[in-house]
Structure 1
C-alpha cells in the first residue's frame, strides 16, 4: 500500500529533472524527465551547473510509510538513520530536485491541509517564553564550542557573512559583515551599545576594540557567555565589554546603539511585538538600531518540522509582512531595509566545506548519525537560500527619521580604515 501511495506522490511531484527510487522490495522506478543542465549558478566558486537528477534507496517499509505520512520530517530522519541512502551521498542533488519541483507542483490536498494546520498552530508552538527560550538555546548552542570552531571563521560568527566579492574567504567576508553593520550603526567612541543575542562575543569585541564603544552583550547560552568573557579578557577589552546571561526582555538600561545579529529568528511570532517594543524602550532618542535576521521573501508559512525538531526548536523565519505590524506599533522609524540575497548560501557552503574537512575530528566526539544530521542541516539550509524564498534582512531603526543620513552614500564613501585598532585606543 505504502509503495503505491509513494509512487503516486512522486509521479505527481517530479515534473522537472529526474529522481530514481529503489524500493524496499528491490524494484526501481524513475520519475520525471531525462536530466538536463539546470543553468543555476553555483556559489561561492561558480562551479559548472550539475544535472537535475538524484537517486535514492529506501531500506524498509517503516521508512516508506514515514515518507508517505510526513515527507519533510521523514526525509531528514531517514537520511540520519540510513534508512534512506542517497546515491553518492548527493544530498544537494536530491534536495534540488525536490525543491525545484515543489515550486512548480501543487502538493496533495492532505499535505497542504497538514501544512496549513501547522501554520495555524504556530502561535502556540512558538511561544518562546523566557524559560522555554533558554531551553531552546541550550539545545543548539551549548553542545560544544569545539564543534563550532571546526567550521566557523576565526571570530566564530555564526550568521550570514557579507561577500562584497564572491572570491572572499570566509574570514574576510565575516569581517566585511561586521564592518557593514558598524557603518550602519554609525558607531563613535564611548557610545553605549547593546548586542542582543551576542553569541561568542565577536561583534561586541569588534565594536569595543575597533570603534571604542562600550558594549553590553546578552545571551541565554552559558557556553557562549563563558567564551565571550574569556575572549574579552584575552583581547584586553574587558573594561569596554560586559556580557550577561540575561533575557532581552529583562533589560532596563538605555543605549545609544542596539545591534542584534541572528537572534530575531528565535523570538517567535507571538513575541515580535514585545521584541520591537523593547528595542524602542531601550534605544536612546537619538539612537540607531540594526536588526540582522534571516527572513522569508514570501507569505508566511509553516516552518521546517525537521529543523525545529533537531536543530532550532522554537525557531521561526519571519516574513516582512509579519514584522511590519510589530515595527509600526513600536513607534520606530524604519530607516532602511537591505536584503542580502545568496550571501548566506555562500556562507553555508564555506561551513560545509570546513565541516567535511574536519570530519575525522568530529568523529572523535560524535557518532555517524550526528554527522549525517549536521551535514543535512547545512545542506538543507543553503538549498533554501538557493531554491526557496529565503534571504537575510538588515533592518535599520531609529526614533528620529533623520537619525542616519538620508541616502546610503555614507556606507560607501570611505574605504575601510587600516588603522581602526589604533584609532579606537
Structure 2
C-alpha cells in the first residue's frame, strides 16, 4: 500500500537502455526537436501576407501579433528552468511538444484576430519551453567540441527552416476535399509532427546538471555580472535580427518589390539554406577562432549584407539570403559560451539570458511594425507615391542594423574577456 502512495518520479527513465544507445537516443531528441522547432518558427513567412489579407491587418497589427508571439515565448522562459528542475528536462520537452501540437489545432480553428493572436501566443509558449529545454539538453550532452556540436544541433533548425517557407507556400495551394488547405491547414498538419519526438523521449535518460553549492550560478550573481549582460545584448540583437528576417523578408519582397508569394518564399528558403550550411561547415571554426570573436566577425558580415542589399535595390535581393551565413552562428555560439562560462548552473544562465531575449523580441517586433507605419505616414504626408516602399526599406534596414550592433557588443565582450585572460 505504501508504494501506491509514493509520488511519481518524473526524472526516472521509463525504460533502461545502454549508455551508448542512450546517447544516440538523446541526439535524436535534440536534433529532432530542432527540426520541429525550425518548421514551427518559419512557416509563418509565407503565411503572414495571407493572414494580413484574410484579417485586413495593418503593419502595426502585424507587429503586435508577432510581439504577442514573443510574449508567449517570454512567459515560457520564466518557468521552464524551474519546471525542468522539478520534473526533469525530458518531461519538460514532452510537455512542450504536446503544447505545440495543440496550438496547431487552435490556429486551425481561429476565426478572428483575437483568437488567432491567442493561438499564436500559445504556440510560442510551447516554442519557448522547447527552446529552453533543448538548450539545457544540449549543454548537458555536448561537453566536448561544444561550439561545433552546438552548431551541428542548430544545423537541424536551419535544415527545417530552409524547406519550411517553400513547403508552406506549396501546401497552402493544395486541394483537400474540394477546398484549399490554406495557412490554417498548413499549421495544423506541420505542428502535428511535434508529437513524433515524444517517442524517443520516453526511452532516453539525460545527465543531471553539474552542481556545486559554493560555486553554483544564481540569478543574483548573473544580475551583478557585466559579462552576463553583454552576452544578453549580443544574443538579443543577433537573434531579433535573425527572427525578424524570417518574419518580414517575404512580406518585404512581396510589398516592396511586388514579388509573387512563391518567389519571395523561395528567397527566404535560400536565406535558410545559407543559414543551414553555415552551421554545418563553419560551426567548427568557432572552436578554433574563439566564440566571442567568431560572433563579432559573422554578425558584422550579416548586417553588411542586409544593408548593401537595400542600397543596391531589387537586384541585390540575393544578399538578404547570403546574410544567413553570418546570422546563423550567433545563437548556437552564444549557447556554447554560456555552457562553458556557466558550467555550474547552465539552466539558470540560459533561462536568465533567453528570458531577457524574449523581452527584446517583444520590443523588436513592435518597433519594426511601428517604424514601417510611421515612416510610411511621414512620406505619405509629403505626397510621396512610394511611401509604403520607403517605410518597408527603413524597417528592413533597422533589422540589418541590429546585426551590426550585435557585432559591436561582441567586440566589447572580446576585449573585456581578453583583459581578464578569460577568452572562450
Could you tell me the TM-score, scaled by structure 1's length?
Answer: 0.23
Higher-Rg structure is 1
**Of Structure 1 and Structure 2, which has the larger fraction of its residues in strand?**
1
TM-score (norm 2): 0.24
